[in-house]
Each structure stands twice: as C-alpha cells, then as structure tokens.
Amino acid sequence: MLTLADPLEHARRIHGDRIAVVDGETRMTYRALHERCERLAGALQHLGVGRGDRVAVLAANGHRYVEATCALPAYGMVVVPLNTRLAEPELRAILADCGARVLLADRDPGALRQCVDRVVSMPDDYEAMLAGRAIPRRFAVDENDPAALFYTGGTTGKSKGVILTHRNLVANAFHKVVACSLDASDVFLAAPPMFHVAGVAPLVGLVWNGARSVTVPSFDADKCLDVIERERITVFMPVPTMLASLVARQQAAARDVSSLRMLGHAGAPIANALIEAAHATFPSSEIAQFYGATETSSIVTCFRHEEAAIGTPRLGSCGRAVAGVSVRVVRPDGIECPPGEAGEIAVRGPNVTAGYWHDPAATSAALVDGWYRTGDVGVMDADGFLFVVDRIKDMIVSGAENVYSIEVEDILYRHPAVIEAAVFGVPDDRWGEAVYAIVVVERRAPSEDDFVAELKEHCRRSIAGYKVPKRIEVRTEPLPKSGPGKVLKRVLRHAHWEGRRS
C-alpha cells in the first residue's frame, strides 16, 4: 500500500541534494522541501488540524503551494485547492461544503475568514509557523483515504467536490511517468494553475523521480518562454488556449527553446490547426496530446509524437489509453459502441475518483458499474485511438443532425484573422438548435458583414452546410474562461437560452 507520504520520503532519501523546486530566486533541494513539509504539517497539527481535516489553499503557484500539496496528504490531512478566479460567494460555498478548518492564503481573504477556524497568510504567518519547528505526528493513512478535494471548474454547471484518494493520485503518478517518460533529468514548467488537478498531479511523479519543478505565479506566454530558455525546461503541458498564446509569442519573438523535449497539451479539445502551428513553431519538440478529467486524477489517454499524424486522418485524436487505465465509448444503455460510432466516453482504473464530496446522487450518476461516465462524446477507431468530439452538453442537434462544436471551431481557427473561436447551439424555431459562433479577432474589419460572409464561405469549403454557423458574432475581447483556461460556453450560451431550458 502506497500513499503520498512515500514519494516525499523517497525523494529525501534518494534525491536529497537535487533541486526540487525553483520559484523565482528560490531554489530548494528535496532535503529542504521535506523539512519544510514536515514543519508545515507540525504547525497545522499544533493549530488543531487532525487526520482527515481539510485545509484550503488560495494562492498563486509557488514553492509554498508545492509544499502544501506534498505535506498535507502525506501527514493525513486533505488539501483543497481553491480557484483564485472565483468570486467570493463561490469560494464561500466551497469552504462551507468542504468544511475546511484552515485557509492558507497569499491575499486578503476578506469575508472568507468567517468560513474557517484560522487563516494563515502567506508568506508572513506561514513562514512564522514553519520557524516554530513543530514536529508532526504521523497519522496512519490508508490508500483509500481522501488526499485532495478538487472542485470542478464549473464549465457546464455548479462545481462539485471531487474526492481524489491517495490511491488515485499514486496511480496517476505511475501512469504519467510511463506515458511521458519522466526521469530525474526532466525540468517541468509548472505554469498551469495549481488549483487545477492538471497543475499539481504531475508533482507526485516528478517528486518520486527527483525531477525539477519550476513554478511561475500565473501563465504569461512571454514570461514562460523566458523561463523555458533560462531554466532549460524539458516538459511543459499547457491547455490549448495557453498553447495558442505560446505559439503567437514565440513567432513574434523567438527564444531558445531547444531544451523542450515535450510540449504537451491537455484540459480541453484542440483545433487541428493549432497542433500544426505548434509543430511549425516548436519543430524540435515532441507534441503530445493528453485527455483526462478532474475525476480521473488527470490523464486517461496519451498521443505521443502527435506531429507525426499531421496530414493523416489520425490528427486530432487524443491517443490511446495509458497503461493501467481502461477506456471505452458507450451508448446510453451502457453497451459499447463499435469502432467509428459516437458515444459517451467511460473510464475505469485506480485513478478514478471515489466520488463527489457529500453528493451521493452525483456520485451514482457519474460512477456506473465501476465506470466513470465522463460526459464527453467520443469516437474510437479500430486501433483504439480515441477522438473527443464534444461535451454532451455542447453537442448541437440541428434538424436531427449532430454537429460537434470542435469540428466547426477547428475550421474557424484556420482563418488567419481568427484568434479564438467558440461554437454552440442556440434556439431555433425551425431546426430546434442553430449553430452559433463567436470569434475573437485582433481588430474589426472595415465591413463586419463582409467579414462574416467571408468566414461562412471559409467554413463551407470544408464542412457540410448544416454545420456552417447560421450566425457569427465578432469580438475583439478574449472569451470568458475558467481558472484552468477552458472557454466557458455555458456563460456564452446563457443569454440565448435564458428562460428556455436549464
């Protein structure tokens, strides 16, 4: 039985003198990381935090976030990363739901103080606690105990607390190490927010291997490119919106990114045009696609060397199931779809969540006969390569024809003026739903009507007429996004559907 105490202890014993974390000017060895984790756990126990108690973190990426993520589960507590982009009422609801005892915060928590027993400000209170050198008690921790509560990004509705156990995160660490060929020589750029599972899940495998994590407080394409050059980053896994920005800024001002052996992407569907642009911009780096969810502790499938699929029908696949995970595509009755038929993606494995915090109804709906129903529409080919074509809630049914938004978005992204695109269904008296697109451009065209007509003709050259957006809205401001960087289509749809359906 392994828990999250094991990688931390292993790193201390085997990799003690190796650099574990780089955070600006701070460079910390694994021996120092282990000592600070021990002091943090002891200090929290001194405050009355016990086995199974929840401790929330509201902070930007940094070495203290790494310490909390490693220390709390290792000493029997449960870490609750909070999305820093949420409004105060949303954060209050999460703290009330999880019953957190303590909040670690690098900003003024305001009224959130009323939701917990104690707020520990970072860095001042935090560093003062660690200076106390309290020795922690080792609680007996079982692999099935909760290690973390991640509240879903809310791209399709209200956030739910996803329980990830020690077993879930340990399993995912093995899956990720194998899938990404991680070893002690790797230098990982931790730029995606650590309040998201994709931001912290890689840490477990990196710690186990004695690899190095370089944190940046938040994603900024130019700063990330500078860090890749300066720290000789070898692995970076942004979400597609981040990857698009990275491509644009590298094209505008090239840095030495020759150290980058793997440029992965995950967290949301991606347009094929962006994959092609990433390969053209980072030609010496392997491009890899990963698919997963908060409920699966991160990765489920992997497509290595995605650039080799450019120009083939396989481009756009998120790959095959990683070792240790089972994936299938099923019909509503649970029967597995034959190759080529669209259905819901279902996942089974030791990485799959134990359920939702205090929500048995949601747990029963998502976990069916040992399989996690993802809510994603997928197609699997005869060789086991999975294509994620849409969220079930994002699929558009227009005149009895299914339209998958990512397919239309991919075509829109191929127009040189389009920076961002979001496609969704809106009410239509004749067809039930009509395809609606919002595109973001750098500057508006002199004649917007002519530009919209040009975009529609651009689409007609590549996709069937019923898939071409009936209306295209042009914006110059970025689309609304969740903390992890996913476009919030529910926000975009709301004005069109308000009063007509939930």
Q: Name residues whose C-beta falls within 8 Å of residue 93's C-beta, 6 or more positions apart in sequence.
A: none
pLDDT at 134: 80
Q: What is the CATH number of the domain that holds 152?
A: 3.40.50.12780
Residue 366 belongs to some domain of the structure: no
Q: Are 309 and 352 in contact (CB under 8 A)?
A: no
Return the percent helix, strand and coil in the chain, to nearest 5: 35, 25, 40
Structural domain for 469, as ranges? 394-497
Domain for residue 215, yes or no? no
pLDDT band at 153 (very low <50, low <70, confident <90, very high): low
Residue 44 CA from chain centroid, whole number: 28
Query: Is there a contact between 182 and 172 (Cβ–Cβ < 8 Å)?
Result: no
Domain count of the fold of the chain? 2
Sign of CA pseudo-dihedral 24, 30, 36, 41? positive
Rounded average pLDDT over 147-167: 81
Residue 114 pLDDT greater than 90, yes or no:
yes
pLDDT confidence tier of residue 496, bands split at 50, 70 and 90: confident
What integer pLDDT is reported at residue 377 of this predicted model? 87
Mean pLDDT, the chain, rounded, equals: 92
- Domain annotation covers residue 301: no
Whether 418 shows a pLDDT value over 90: the answer reads yes
**Least reliable range by pLDDT among 6-20, 73-87, 411-425, 475-489:** 475-489
| Share above pLDDT 70 across residues of the chain, in percent, rounded to a whole number | 96
Q: Residue 496: which residues within 8 A CB-CB, separation 6 or more?
A: 426, 427, 436
Question: Would you state the structure tokens that stand for residue 367, as one six-digit string?
Answer: 């976990």
> Domain boundary residue among 159, 180, 210?
210
Rounded mean pLDDT, 291-320? 94
Q: DSSP H helical segments within 181-327, as ranges?
A: 197-209, 221-231, 240-252, 272-281
Residue type, 81: P
Q: Which two tokens stand for residue 443?
A: 């500057």
Q: For residue 190, which of 373, 23, 332 has the smallest C-alpha distance? A: 23
Alpha helices in 235-292 (DSSP H): 240-252, 272-281
Tokens for 91, please give them. Answer: 């954060």
- Asked whether residue 491 is assigned to any structural domain, the reply reads yes
Contact call for residues 59 and 104 (beta carbons, < 8 A): yes
Phi, psi of 305 (to 5 degrees): 50, 55
Please check whether residue 242 lies inside any domain of the structure.
Answer: no
Amino acid making up residue 108: D
Asked if residue 148 belongs to a domain, the reply is: yes
CATH of the domain at 436: 3.30.300.30
Flag whether pLDDT at 497 surpasses 80: no
CA atoms lying within 13 Å on the CB side of residue 195: 25
- 234: its two tokens: 């070898």
Task: Check residue 309 and report its DSSP letter.
Answer: G
Per residue in 356-406, pLDDT (tens digit) is 999 999 999 999 999 999 988 899 999 999 998 877 777 787 765 678 788
Is the per-residue pLDDT at 499 higher than 70? no
pLDDT in tens, 328-340: 999 999 999 999 9
Tell me what pLDDT residue 399 has: 63
Q: Which two tokens stand for residue 488?
A: 């919030």
Q: Are 297 and 351 in contact (CB under 8 A)?
A: yes
In a domain, residue 26? The reply is yes
Q: Is 500 a residue whose pLDDT tops 70?
A: no
Region 220-230 average pLDDT: 97
How far is it, in rounded angstroms, from Cα 249 to Cα 200? 25
pLDDT in tens, 39-84: 999 999 999 999 999 999 999 999 999 999 999 999 999 999 998 8
* Other residues' Cβ atoms within 10 Å of the Cβ of residue 196: 24
In a domain, 365, yes or no: no
Most confident of the ranges 55-69, 136-150, 267-281: 55-69
**Sign, Cα dihedral of 208, 136, 356, 86:** negative
Look at residue 438 in the predicted model and tell me its pLDDT. Answer: 96
